[in-house]
Amino acid sequence: MTKVYLIGAGPGAADLLTLRAARLLADKAEIVLADDLVSDEILALVRPEARVLKVGKRGGRPSTPQSFIHRLMVRYARRGKCVVRLKGGDPYVFGRGGEEVEALAEHGVAAEVVPGLTAGIAVPAAVGIPVTHRAYTHGVTLVTGTAGDGRSEPNWSGLARSGTTLVIYMGLGRLLSIVARLIAGGLPPDTPAAAIASGTLPSQRHVKGTLRDLPGRVAAAGLASPAIIVVGEVAALANADTDTADVPMQDLVACMHAA
């Protein structure tokens, strides 16, 4: 029985794949179980003989149950196939890689993780935001904006006091509530903030502003998932955004209420 490779595909652009990932896809993969977030440009690198199954898991849409993905991986591995589980970003950062390695181990199947560039670091960089910078912050916290599956909410007021850059994954749908909780937790409303959608892809767009006006800017620009939200002084270093830089505050507030 061969092992299953859990491969991080990075944030989107194919040339941000690791060499190890690109080689495994081009030379060894026989079965590829790919997430929704994996771009067509990356799937084009997979050996033509390989079978690619899309097992999308994007919030709000019908998705393949996690248990079914586990069963598929085990089934093909037992048949001696070289199975690749291909995920956006890094498999171990909000990628359920941990759960999948455990499920494989329960069935006696070995796994090898191939790290990928996580969106929370690579996507801010794509618009000029260093997630840490000695002049502005002691560190960075990667946090999910969606608790999901009955799990508890992140401790937003604790995060507001963390003194670190906050990088929020899967937060766009709950942006208003997250902003309200961070402000209630003591983060000044004029803290710099940015949102970047489809980072590193040709469709990449972003807005920058402050914590208070970010929801309005996101709505005015019509940004959609996948998006990363950055809150903290470093967000002020983002390149100028072309969508909302000149929109007056009252219009942003109107957009926010319309959204």
Task: Please report how close the Cβ of residue 133 comes to ligand SAH at its closest, in angstroms.
Answer: 20
Using alpha carbons only, give the angle 62, 68, 74 rounded to the nearest 5 degrees.
Answer: 150
Q: Which residues inside 1-20 make contact with ligand SAH, applying CB under 6 A?
A: 11-12
In the complex with ligand SAH, which residue's Cβ is closer, 124 or 209?
124
57 is catalytic: yes
Helix (H, G, I), strand (E, B) or coil at 22: helix
DSSP string, 35-104: -TTS-HHHHTTS-TTSEEEE----TTS----HHHHHHHHHHHHHTT--EEEEESB-TTSSS-HHHHHHHH
Is 81 or 116 the residue whose CB approaches ligand SAH more closely? 116
Shortest Å distance, C-beta 122 to ligand SAH: 8
Among residues 90, 100, 213, 241, which is the contact residue for ligand SAH, using CB under 6 A?
90
- Interface residue with ligand SAH, options 228, 231, 235, 255 (CB under 6 A): 228
H or E element that contains 72: helix 66-78
Is 226:36 a contact under the CB 8 Å cutoff? no
Supply 152's token pair. Answer: 């508890």
CB of 54 to ligand SAH, least distance (A): 16
Which range binds ligand SAH by CB under 6 A, 86-94, 132-140, 206-214, 249-257?
86-94
Q: Is 15 a catalytic residue?
A: no
Using CB under 6 A, pick the residue from 17, 86, 118, 167 that binds ligand SAH.
118
- Site track 46-75 with ligand SAH (rule: CB under 6 A), x = hit: ------------------------------
- Cα separation of the two ends of the chain: 51
The catalytic residue among 73, 81, 170, 213 is: 170
Known active-site residue 35: yes
The neighbouring-strand residues paired with 51 are 31
What are the phi and psi torsion angles at 64 (to 5°)? Answer: -70, 130
Binder among 5, 55, 85, 94 for ligand SAH (CB under 6 A): 94
Widest distance between CA atoms in the chain:
62
Which 163-222 positions form the footprint of ligand SAH (CB under 6 A)?
Answer: 169-170, 196-201
CA 53 to chain centre: 21
Q: Catalytic residue positions?
A: 35, 57, 170
